[in-house]
Amino acid sequence: MTISQRIDQRQSQTLVMTPQLQQAIKLLQMSNLELGDFVEQEIEQNPLLERGEGDGSDAPIGDTGPEIVAAAPDADPAPLSGSESETVSGSNDEDVWANDGYNGEERFATTSSGGSFEDDEFSAAQNIAEKPSLRAHLLEQIHVDFTEPADRMVAAALIELLDEAGYLPADLELVRTQLGVTDEHFEEIIARMQRFDPCGIFARSLHECLALQLFEKDRLDPAMGLLLQNLDLLAKRDLNALMRLCNVDNEDLADMIAEIRHLNPKPAMAFTSDVAQPIVPDVILRHLPGKLGEGGGWHVELNTETLPRVLANERYYAQIQSATSKKADKEYIADRWQQANWLVKALHQRATTILKVASEIVRQQDAFFVHGVSHLKPLILKDIATLVEMHESTVSRVTQHKYIATPRGLFELKYFFTTALGRSDGGADMSSESVRARIRAMIDNEKPTSILSDDHLSMMLRGEGIDVARRTVAKYREAMRIPTSAQRRREKRR
Identify the pLDDT of residue 274: 53
124 is a domain residue: no
pTM of the model: 0.60
Least confident of 29-33, 51-55, 315-319: 51-55
Among the candidates 379, 414, 449, a domain finishes at 414
- Determine the Cα–Cα distance for residues 30 and 23; give it in Å rounded to an integer: 11
Identify the pLDDT of residue 219: 85
* 249-265 residue pLDDT tens: 888 888 888 888 888 88
- Determine the Cα–Cα distance for residues 329 and 479; give it in Å rounded to an integer: 59
265 and 138, same structural domain?
Answer: yes
382 and 467, same structural domain?
Answer: no
How deeply is 7 buried, as exposed, middle or buried, from its count of CB atoms within 10 A (0-12, 13-18, 19+)? exposed
252 and 183, same structural domain?
Answer: yes
Identify the pLDDT of residue 67: 33
The amino acid present at 329, given as its one-letter code, is: D
251 and 189, same structural domain?
Answer: yes
Interval 276-301 mean pLDDT: 75
161 and 72, same structural domain?
Answer: no
If you compute the radius of gyration of the chain from its CA atoms, what whole number of angstroms results? 31
474 is a domain residue: yes
Q: Which of 229, 226, 211, 224 is nearest to 256 (CA)?
A: 224
262 and 164, same structural domain?
Answer: yes
Identify the pLDDT of residue 166: 87
Identify the pLDDT of residue 234: 83
Identify the pLDDT of residue 296: 59
pLDDT above 50 for 97: no
pLDDT above 60 for 275: no
pLDDT above 50 for 130: yes
80 and 45, same structural domain?
Answer: yes
Identify the pLDDT of residue 289: 73
Strands lying side by side in the sheet with 49-51: 49-51, 310-313, 67-69
* Number of domains present in the structure of the chain: 3
Beta bridge partners of 313: 67
- Determine the Cα–Cα distance for residues 89 and 72; give it in Å rounded to an integer: 24
Angle formed by the axes of helices 134-145 and 149-160, to 10°? Answer: 160
Interval 182-194 mean pLDDT: 89
Least confident of 103-112, 257-266, 309-318, 361-370: 103-112
Identify the pLDDT of residue 353: 92
Identify the pLDDT of residue 65: 34
Among 26-30, 235-239, 410-414, 463-467, which range has the highest average pLDDT? 410-414
Interval 300-312 mean pLDDT: 86
Domain with residue 451: its CATH number is 1.10.10.60
Domain interval for residue 40: 20-92+280-414
In the chain, DSSP finds a helix count (H) and a strand count (E) of 20, 10
Identify the pLDDT of residue 318: 86
Identify the pLDDT of residue 403: 92
Position 284 confidence tier, pLDDT thresholds 50, 70, 90 = very high
Query: What percent of the chain stands above pLDDT 90?
Result: 7
Q: Which of 22, 28, 66 is nearest to 48 (CA)?
A: 66
430 and 360, same structural domain?
Answer: no
Q: Can you tell me whether residue 421 is helix, strand or coil? A: strand
409 and 285, same structural domain?
Answer: yes
Identify the pLDDT of residue 276: 60
129 is a domain residue: no
Among the candidates 379, 398, 414, a domain finishes at 414
Phi-psi region of 202 (alpha: psi -120 to 50; beta: other; left: phi over 0): left
Cβ–Cβ under 8 Å, residues 371 and 92? no
Top-confidence residue, 429 or 335 = 335
Beta bridge partners of 403: 412
The amino acid present at 247, given as its one-letter code, is: N
Among the candidates 381, 396, 414, a domain finishes at 414
248 and 179, same structural domain?
Answer: yes
Q: Which of 210, 192, 101 is nearest to 154 (CA)?
A: 192
105 is a domain residue: no
428 is a domain residue: yes
115 is a domain residue: no
395 and 306, same structural domain?
Answer: yes
402 is a domain residue: yes
4 is a domain residue: no
* 47-56 residue pLDDT tens: 888 887 654 4
213-217, long-range: CB < 8 A, 24+ apart: 213/263, 213/264, 214/259, 214/263
Cβ–Cβ under 8 Å, residues 466 and 426? no
154 and 62, same structural domain?
Answer: no
Position 125 confidence tier, pLDDT thresholds 50, 70, 90 = very low
Identify the pLDDT of residue 360: 92
- Determine the Cα–Cα distance for residues 296 and 286; give it in Å rounded to an integer: 11
The amino acid present at 121, given as its one-letter code, is: E
